[in-house]
Amino acid sequence: MTGKYERVRGVVDAIAGLLRACCGEGGATAKAAQRMLDRLATTELTPGAFADLPPQSPGLHRALLNEAIEHMQAPGLLALQQALMAAVDDLVWAEDQMKYYAPDANVGAGYRTGNLHTLLIGPGACGFEHADFTLGFFLLHPRTLYRDHAHPAPETYVNLSPRSGWRFGEGDWRDLGPGSLVFNPPMAPHATRSYAQPFFSVFSWLKDIGEPCVVLPRDDWTEIEQALPDL
């Protein structure tokens, strides 16, 4: 019989396994993966360090979370998919109630009502405590624009969805596939969008996590949000 610690630890280990596989790809992907593994190495993952918080259901987001996990079909993601299916009801799922932004930040209704995350590692995480490193999962509802923003923390995403849209700085939108890594250096502007399926990813802030995100206004948000049903 596997206990809660083993199940949550299994998710962290599956993420580490995915990152180690990414290290074999070389280039920017390997570098981003290694950065996360280096921070993971500073985290105590023993049973004694397990936070063991009471679980919190994804609530209204349950069906979309299940859909996102079911769509983790790429071969490299199957171990993580299995580990997450086993542990999903052990985790504390929460909406970002502007914890990561100033209360009046112009994040848009899409983000406000359509985001969900859980912290495996970090301050107050349901897995393992760390003062200056976060690791978790992040979900955005389908057809949602997560507006352009930036933050002092260097950030890595591991995309788990079949298709996710990204824009970096002044660049054009581009789609990334499952298992792809995104590294956002400190204060580098980035935006994300989802299509017919929810956006789902592993996210990590590597350090300097105390400072909030800032929204970076662009004049095409309304246009993008209106176009999302057809993309």
Interacting residue ranges for Fe ion, rule: CB under 5 A: 155
**In the bound complex, what is the minimum distance in angstroms from residue 55's beta carbon to Fe ion?**
26
Q: Which is nearer to Fe ion, 2 or 106 (CB)?
A: 106
Q: Which is nearer to Fe ion, 130 or 149 (CB)?
A: 149
Both tokens of 187, joined, read 């204060």
Alpha carbon distance, N-terminus to C-terminus of the chain? 45
**In the bound complex, what is the minimum distance in angstroms from residue 60's beta carbon to Fe ion?**
24
**In the bound complex, what is the minimum distance in angstroms from residue 188's beta carbon to Fe ion?**
9
108-118 burial by CB neighbour count: b if 16+ within 10 A, else e?
A: bebbeebbbbb
**In the bound complex, what is the minimum distance in angstroms from residue 192's beta carbon to Fe ion?**
8
Q: Which is nearer to Fe ion, 77 or 191 (CB)?
A: 191
Q: How buried is 23 (Cβ within 10 angstroms: 0-12 exposed, 13-18 middle, 19+ buried)?
A: middle
Q: Phi/psi of residue 167, each to 5°? A: -135, 130
Q: Which is nearer to Fe ion, 90 or 155 (CB)?
A: 155
Q: Which is nearer to Fe ion, 45 or 180 (CB)?
A: 180
Taking the C-alpha atoms of residue 31 and residue 25, their distance in angstroms, rounded to an integer, is 9
Residue nearest to Fe ion (CB): 155
Q: Taken in order 49, 54, 59, 63, is the CA torsion positive or negative? A: positive
- 8 Å CB contact between 39 and 183: no
- 8 Å CB contact between 8 and 87: yes
**In the bound complex, what is the minimum distance in angstroms from residue 40's beta carbon to Fe ion?**
19
Q: Which is nearer to Fe ion, 33 or 88 (CB)?
A: 33
Q: Give the residue from 204, 103, 105, 190 showing the smallest Cα distance to 153.
A: 204
**In the bound complex, what is the minimum distance in angstroms from residue 174's beta carbon to Fe ion?**
16
